[in-house]
Amino acid sequence: MTIFSIVLIILFFGLLIAVHEFGHFIAAKIMGVRVNEFSIGMGPAIISREKGETLYSLRVFPVGGFCAMEGEEESSDDPRSFHNKPFWKKLIILVAGAFMNFVTGLVIILVLLFLVGSPAAPVFTGVMEGAEAVLDTGLQPGDQFYTIDGHRIYFQSDAMIYLQRAGEQVEVTVLRDGEKVDLGEIYLPYRQLTDETGAQVEKRGIYVGQYLEDTVATRLQNTWYQAIDYVRMVWMGLGDIFTGAVGLRDMSGVIGIVAMAGDVGQAGAEAAGMFGAVVNLLDFTALIAINLAVMNLLPIPALDGGQIFLLIVNGIYHLFSKKYIDQKYLGYVNMVGFICLIALMILVAISDVNKYIL
């Protein structure tokens, strides 16, 4: 792990937080909500300046930030308070942070694809020696995987991930000469094979991956596909947590993210110098940006998704009772959620220290 990589990822991480909070801030301003303070970072303020009705501040720790709106945590008589705005305006303000993170990830991916080109396509190119039986399944060299077990396949990496998670019977649809061909369930067992180095390996025995003609149109399309891929990775990870496939030691907090970013940057530097390090770190940042967008919309108190959930609950309550839940009670729920998140972050941080430092 290099100091350069660590500094760079901290700067990128701080930028993502700034962009997220700016999303809330600009949406609040557009919707006519009074913003009391807009802060980047947490802890004591390093710099603060009041302009108009809003205090702008930069704080010590670049691991958070906030957009403090009037009437967000408690009831307010101010007609410009968040609490007194209609449902649709509140919803736009709450979604704006995650939206900005997603757009940031999208822009980073777009820049990267124009710098280094699109990833390899999921084209079946042949079989290893000893796995010739695969050709009897209906797969033909040149076929491009379209779905595997119902999952849309965009890139070589998708094919490898979903083949790894599949059983011996794999449901496959391919693109052949521009037409979709449903091969149904095909038999792709793991076999004892000999690789190029002469070592004995257990693999399915198929080669996947081919770089296709890259145009402006394909790079634009692949930018969207890569963003969708990152969203799927987040959901896949959440699914693994809920099913018990991964545990606490497999989760990563700020320490783990910085450590992984350092490894990613170092791998890029070894492959292509500083340019490779920056490219790898930008790609990692795009993944984190989209990860933040998805995670923030989960219906967990203290997150944007939790706020949206409580907003809907409050709306349903008003529909039947003609009253609103007191804002202070919603604040208590968010406080409990915040404490639980902090506790989880501490546990994950302790796990990160054991994995990456001790």
- Residues designated catalytic: 21
CB 167 within 8 A of CB 241: no
Beta bridge partners of 54: 51
CB 292 within 8 A of CB 277: no
Range list of β-strands (E), the chain: 35-51, 54-69, 121-127, 144-148, 151-152, 169-176, 179-187, 191-194, 200-203, 206-210
Characterize the bridge pairing of strands 121-127 and 206-210: antiparallel
Range 69-78 contact pairs with CB under 8 angstroms and sequence separation of 24 or more: 69/24, 69/28, 69/33, 69/34, 69/35, 69/36, 69/93, 70/33, 70/34, 70/35, 70/36, 71/34, 71/327, 73/327, 73/331, 73/334, 74/327, 74/328, 74/331, 75/326, 75/327, 75/328, 78/34
Task: In whole angstroms, give the CA distance from residue 14 to residue 61.
Answer: 9
Rg of the chain in Å (alpha carbons): 24
Mapped onto helix, strand or coil, the DSSP state of residue 125 is strand
